[in-house]
């Protein structure tokens, strides 16, 4: 069987659709014409994973490993998992596939930019846990967190995007919050729901999802 260049593990409907749309747009920009990104979408029942998130557990390990093992049969050169939090589980598993890891890609990007201090926007769980921040700190990158009230609002944005209930007022406030924090240090988006509503052409905004998408497309022939 010929190897598949890119595999995408289909999880939440809106976030997976976002990845597919952005992959197609970037690939078309690269190839032109009517090009669309060649990939394998392995769509699973997200409830089997989401009901176990965000906390790590042996049950979550088993479910995630089972899905990724099924993808092994397609010999994907690269795999995108459109859920930042789930990578903590993937890190614990013995997976032979090349996972396009959002945190590793972000650290590499920050090193190129010679950036040693960032503000993290993510789910409330991700901002308060040590998983993402410990990765950055181990590479000499200091992580600044928003104020408690701002973190709660950012998590509200995440929830509304997931439920597709975001309002114009919420989007505007979210964009203003990014502008506020990015005025001092680069803002890193560590949640795909937050990527969906990100402002375009904003300076000092680094999007983990976008880095995964770019790594996938730019590695293709």
pLDDT tens by residue, 20-55: 999 999 999 999 999 999 999 999 999 999 999 999
Distances (CA, A) of 215 to 55, 78, 203: 28, 9, 20
Q: Can you list the residues of the chain whose pLDDT is less than 50?
A: none
Predicted structure pTM score: 0.95
| CA–CA dist 206, 33 (Å, integer) | 29
Show the tokens assigned to 94: 């013995």
Looking up residue 12, the CATH number of its domain turns out to be 3.40.50.1860
Residue 2 confidence (pLDDT): 63
Residue 1 confidence (pLDDT): 52
- Does residue 1 sit within a domain? no
Residue 148 confidence (pLDDT): 98
139 and 42 in a common domain: no
192 and 138 in a common domain: yes
Give the Cβ contact number of residue 87 at 10 Å: 22
**How is 18-78 classified by DSSP, letter by letter?**
HHHHHHHHHHHHHH-TT-----EEEE--THHHHTT-SS--HHHHHHHHHHHHHHHTTT-SE
What domain range is 79 assigned to? 6-101+211-218
Residue 202 confidence (pLDDT): 85
Looking at the structure of the chain, the number of domains it has is: 2
CA gyration radius, the chain: 17
């Amino acid at each position: 069987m010929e190897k598949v260049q890119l595999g995408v593990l289909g999880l939440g409907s809106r976030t997976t659709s976002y990845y597919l749309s952005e992959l197609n747009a970037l690939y078309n920009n690269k190839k032109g014409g009517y090009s669309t990104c060649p990939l394998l979408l392995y769509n699973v029942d997200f409830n089997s994973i989401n009901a176990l998130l965000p906390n790590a557990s042996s049950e979550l390990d088993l479910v995630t490993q089972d899905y990724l093992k099924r993808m092994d049969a397609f010999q994907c050169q690269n795999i995108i998992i459109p859920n930042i939090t789930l990578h903590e589980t993937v890190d614990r598993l013995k997976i032979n596939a090349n996972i396009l890891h959002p945190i590793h890609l972000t650290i590499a990007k920050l090193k190129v930019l010679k950036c040693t201090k960032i503000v993290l926007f993510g789910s409330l769980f991700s901002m308060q846990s040590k998983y993402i921040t410990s990765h950055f700190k181990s590479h000499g990158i200091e992580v600044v967190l928003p104020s408690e009230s701002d973190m709660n609002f950012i998590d509200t944005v995440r929830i509304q995007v997931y439920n597709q209930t975001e309002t114009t007022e919420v989007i505007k406030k979210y964009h203003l919050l990014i502008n506020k924090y990015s005025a001092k240090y680069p803002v890193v988006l560590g949640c795909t729901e937050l990527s969906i509503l990100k402002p375009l052409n904003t300076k000092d905004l680094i999007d983990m999802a976008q880095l995964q998408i770019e790594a996938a497309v730019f590695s293709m022939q």
